[in-house]
Amino acid sequence: MTTTGAAEAAGALTAHRPMLLGLAYRLLGSLHDAEDVLQETYLRWLDVDRESVAEPRRYLSRVVTRLALDRLRARQAARETYIGPWLPEPVPTAPSPFGPLDTVELRDTLSTALLHLLERLTPPERAVYVLHTAFALPYAEIADLLGRSAADCRQLHHRAVARIADDRRRFTAGPAEQRRLLDAFLAAARDGDLARLTDLVAADATAWSDGGGRVRAARNPVHGADRIARFFAGIYARDRRPGIRTTSAELNGAPALLLRWPAGARYTLAVAAADGRITGVYLVGNPEKLTRVPG
């Protein structure tokens, strides 16, 4: 291939990179894996007869989707040996590497809460859900991307929606409400105010903490307002030192906090909420997942 040809190929991929990266990340929940998928997509794009490709965006979307699905299937065995709960890799989105988040669907399908819910779907269900919900692709186009029938894709989407519907309704609070509850939660935990913490958290809430066996984290989800309150108040009771640094951020299109302990461990903290109370708490401390998070 000539230098000019390689430059033209790179230019076409660059033009669609934010969308493609957002697609791969929503499918995988890992920016590291998403970038690997885009690199492999670029190598395949170099080898194809690009003069025969009428719509580069659709072609590249097809390659990204199928490569991401292959990774989803392959990593199931690795998940079985992962230490503790697995949460998506937090990604700063101010500015967003995925392009403008100018619709509710684009922003919501990046949220930690929804990406965590999508882990319960099969790879084809997840692909159809993301393509139809986040990118508003019609079933006929999704069928072309996945090599399935439109009727099959419609059924996969209905099945995916049904599998996450109950929990999805528990994560309806907007960014301003999430920020208010997140700040109040941190303040109450820092003060050891169990009564206030318990009042902020829904009775059936769950907290997940992902340390990947690398930093201190709960090995199992923590269920219920009282247990969550005691867990987070206990963290601050053990480490109640003036050196703990807290910074506000936007991660995955939503308010979040960056926590740095004096010894150097870092965590991101995000919440999901509905009806004025926290319904989900997400604490990520695995250093491999925080390489893109500043601070």
At 203 the pLDDT is 97
At 54 the pLDDT is 80
Domain-terminating residue out of 81, 98, 128: 81
Residue 274 corresponds to which amino acid? A
At 85 the pLDDT is 95
User: 150 CB contacts (<8 Å, ≥6 apart)?
Assistant: 139, 140, 142, 143
At 132 the pLDDT is 97
Does a structural domain hold residue 148?
no
Q: At what angle do helices 150-168 and 139-146 cross, to 10 degrees?
A: 110
At 227 the pLDDT is 98
Domain-terminating residue out of 32, 65, 81: 81
Does a structural domain hold residue 16?
yes
CATH at residue 285: 3.10.450.50
Does a structural domain hold residue 54?
yes
CA 240 to mean position of chain CA atoms: 30
At 196 the pLDDT is 97
The pLDDT tens digits along the chain (295 residues) read 555 556 666 777 889 999 999 999 999 999 999 999 999 999 999 888 877 888 989 999 999 999 999 999 988 777 778 999 999 999 999 999 999 999 999 999 999 999 999 999 999 999 999 999 999 999 999 999 999 999 999 999 999 999 999 899 999 999 999 999 999 999 999 899 999 999 999 999 999 999 999 998 999 999 999 999 999 998 887 655 556 789 999 999 999 999 998 888 899 999 999 999 999 999 999 999 999 998 7
At 236 the pLDDT is 80
CATH at residue 62: 1.10.1740
Q: How far is CA 211 from CA 4, 185, 186, 229, 242, in A?
A: 46, 21, 19, 19, 23
Shared domain for 182 and 285, answered yes or no, is yes
Number of domains in the chain: 2
234: containing domain: 175-289
Domain-terminating residue out of 81, 103, 136: 81
Decide: helix, strand or coil at residue 79: helix
At 79 the pLDDT is 79
At 6 the pLDDT is 65
At 2 the pLDDT is 55
